[in-house]
């Protein structure tokens, strides 16, 4: 066993005695006063633990780690990973309180907490964002040390949520009645048969569950019920990496184990304004050339990334790391495309699909495991420059109208992003301008139904757009009849 450093025990103090594994389950209250030993597992060691309780003071935050369990942490033992027995010593009370207040403010967590029982922890993004002081948003992830599905079903009934259980993984999703999802998972260990495969899982502890996660800043937990309520669990130095503003993979080989984590690393770095830790960046550069969008897991993560406002910066980071299908100029391309999509009159197109077409190489999109409609939108975006060139050659409003009326919305948006202002002018002007004459008028005047009516109405519309016809119904009807009969129009 390791000895506590003198700084943790008080000036000049030393602890040479051996503290048995699992003797102390939770040490709480590290701060400006004595630490509290929550429970002693072996009464025979109570006297020794009493000495520890009396002496622990937070003079400087140094790790208290049981050497026998270091191999389970998957990290490098940086400051912030403090363990006693099977539990992690929380940081000072202010940090735990900050995390608890932020997590409690999350609307989904706030609704579900009164209906939890046993050892349940909030994990991942909800804890990370609370510590960063970000406003609560999105879904919430909870880890249950025990069977999660029965607890999820009971909590779901209490709040009126629809519960979708996945027996294979011991997980359940609570689809909340007013929107949002709370995922509850049984604490588990994971192994991967091959890169990109679904994991093989077995039940485990909270520490096991945190050790299977992707990055240190996502491998922290806050107790919501049970003995650890209100305590921050941070076995991998996530808080230190939050302070340093770095994204660090939890263990070597993380990107080989699950290539989609490379996209996720770029997403978090861009969203949070973080950088990649040096060893994480080195592994990312090694994995980047082989990142394959035909993998459903990679494509799903790409869709999440493209749904965020910082998608351009994330794509640029992927390109800088060596991902061949990510466009290095994605930030500028996406900014122009998003500005075009926000113009008055722009037709609605899912933004992430537009970004797919602007930020990912077309040949990669063709083989990507994305929905077919999204790949189609991306292909339409790629034709934007061609449309812009055609519009530049159009000489009259009616010629522009003839082109744009048969053009997919995504292509028109992309052309506008490339500088074709004729698109925006058409959206707010000629697109919805209609003649005052209709087919019924021509039939009533004796023109039989058929192609002649369609040709006449199209010709009247063109004359109207080009300023050759008045906004007068009688004039337009007379002109349409002459065209339908094959007569010359002055």
| pLDDT tens digits for range 359-404 | 999 999 999 999 999 999 999 999 999 999 999 999 899 999 999 9
Region 160-165: what's the mean pLDDT?
Answer: 96
- Output helix, strand, coil percentages for the chain, rounded to the nearest 5: 50, 10, 40
CA torsion 26-30-35-38 (nearest 10°) is -20
Query: The whole model's pTM is what?
Result: 0.76
The answer to whether residues 348 and 312 touch, using CB atoms and an 8 Å cutoff, is: no
The answer to whether residues 254 and 248 touch, using CB atoms and an 8 Å cutoff, is: no
CATH 3.40.50.300, domain 93-244, yes or no = no
Alpha-carbon distance of 328 to 321, in angstroms, equals 10
Question: Which H/E stretch holds residue 329?
Answer: none
The answer to whether residues 298 and 258 touch, using CB atoms and an 8 Å cutoff, is: no
Is residue 57 predicted with pLDDT exceeding 90? no
Domain residue ranges in the chain: 6-75, 93-244, 439-484
The answer to whether residues 148 and 112 touch, using CB atoms and an 8 Å cutoff, is: no
Strand, coil or helix: 11:
coil
How confident is the model at residue 487, as a pLDDT?
84
**Confidence band for 203, pLDDT divided at 50, 70 and 90:** confident
CA 162 to mean position of chain CA atoms: 23
CA contacts within 13 A on the Cβ side of 394: 21
The answer to whether residues 220 and 128 touch, using CB atoms and an 8 Å cutoff, is: yes
Q: What is the pLDDT of residues 58-100, one digit of tens each?
A: 223 333 333 233 334 444 444 434 443 344 545 568 888 999 9
């Amino acid at each position: 066993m390791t000895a506590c450093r003198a700084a943790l025990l008080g000036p000049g103090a030393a602890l040479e005695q051996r503290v048995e594994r699992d003797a102390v389950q939770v040490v709480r209250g590290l701060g400006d006063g004595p630490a509290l030993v929550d429970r002693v597992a072996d009464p025979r060691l109570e006297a020794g633990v009493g000495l520890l309780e009396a002496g622990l003071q937070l003079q400087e935050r140094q790790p208290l780690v049981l050497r026998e369990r270091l191999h389970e942490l998957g990290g490098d033992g940086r400051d912030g990973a403090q363990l006693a027995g099977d539990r992690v010593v929380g940081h000072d009370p202010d940090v735990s309180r900050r995390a608890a207040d932020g997590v409690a403010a999350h609307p989904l967590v706030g609704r579900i907490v009164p209906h939890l029982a046993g050892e349940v922890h909030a994990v991942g993004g909800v804890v990370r964002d609370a510590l960063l002081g970000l406003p609560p948003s999105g879904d919430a992830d909870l880890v249950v040390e025990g069977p999660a599905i029965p607890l999820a079903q009971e909590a779901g009934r209490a709040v009126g949520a629809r519960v979708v259980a996945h027996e294979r993984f011991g997980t359940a999703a609570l689809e909340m009645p007013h929107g949002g999802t709370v995922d509850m998972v049984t604490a588990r260990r994971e192994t991967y048969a091959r890169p990109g495969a679904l994991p093989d899982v077995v039940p485990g502890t909270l520490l096991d569950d945190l050790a299977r996660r992707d990055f240190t800043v996502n491998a922290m937990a806050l107790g919501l019920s049970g003995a650890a309520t209100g305590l921050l669990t941070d076995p991998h130095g996530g808080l230190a990496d939050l302070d340093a503003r770095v994204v660090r993979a939890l263990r070597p080989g993380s990107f080989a184990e699950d290539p989609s984590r490379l996209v996720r690393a770029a997403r978090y770095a861009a969203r949070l304004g973080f950088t990649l830790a040096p060893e994480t960046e080195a592994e990312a550069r090694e994995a980047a050339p082989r990142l394959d969008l035909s993998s459903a897991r990679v494509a799903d993560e790409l869709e999440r990334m493209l749904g965020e406002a910082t998608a351009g910066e994330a794509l640029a980071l992927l390109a800088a790391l060596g991902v061949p299908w990510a466009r290095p100029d994605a930030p500028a391309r996406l900014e122009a495309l998003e500005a075009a999509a926000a113009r008055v009159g722009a037709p609605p197109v899912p933004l992430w699909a537009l970004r797919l077409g602007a930020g990912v190489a077309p040949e990669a999109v063709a083989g990507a495991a994305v929905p077919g409609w999204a790949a189609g939108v991306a292909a339409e975006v790629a034709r934007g420059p061609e449309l812009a060139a055609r519009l530049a050659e159009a000489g009259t409003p009616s010629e522009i109208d003839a082109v744009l009326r048969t053009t997919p919305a995504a292509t028109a948006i992309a052309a506008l992003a490339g500088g074709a202002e004729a698109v925006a002018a058409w959206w707010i002007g000629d697109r919805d301008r209609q003649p005052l004459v209709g087919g019924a008028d021509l039939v009533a005047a004796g023109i039989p139904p058929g192609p002649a009516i369609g040709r006449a109405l199209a010709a009247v519309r063109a004359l109207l757009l080009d300023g050759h016809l008045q906004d007068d119904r009688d004039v337009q009807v007379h002109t349409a009849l002459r065209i339908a009969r094959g007569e010359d129009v002055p």
